[in-house]
């Protein structure tokens, strides 16, 4: 079992490119910001801009006709 574990570890190390070094891990705040807060803010901003450009606008009241509207 130990030989298998060391072979798997050796295999994973051989697949890395030369000079590849893992960087520092992200803190909880950075992880929350990058993977939750930023996407939500971007989604809301795009939604608001889209609604503002294509949303229903208040129409001027015209003299309604019995043929075109039901009261």
Give residue 55's pLDDT: 76
- pLDDT tens, position by position, 32-69: 999 999 999 999 999 999 999 997 776 666 666 667 76
Count CA atoms within 13 Å of residue 47 on its CB side.
6
Decide: pTM greater than 0.75: no
Residue 19 has pLDDT above 60, yes or no: yes
Give residue 22's pLDDT: 78
Distance between CA 30 and CA 28 in Å, rounded? 6
Residue 13 has pLDDT above 60, yes or no: no
From the list 29, 12, 28, 30, the residue with the least C-alpha distance to 20 is: 12
Which one has a higher pLDDT value, 10 or 55? 55
The answer to whether residues 60 and 68 touch, using CB atoms and an 8 Å cutoff, is no
């Amino acid at each position: 079992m130990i030989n298998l574990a060391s072979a798997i570890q050796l295999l994973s190390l051989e697949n890395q490119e030369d000079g590849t070094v893992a960087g520092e891990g992200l803190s909880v705040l950075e992880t929350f910001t990058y993977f939750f807060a930023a996407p939500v803010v971007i989604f809301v901003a795009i939604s608001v801009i889209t609604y503002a450009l294509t949303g229903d606008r208040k129409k001027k009241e015209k003299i309604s006709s019995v043929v075109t509207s039901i009261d």
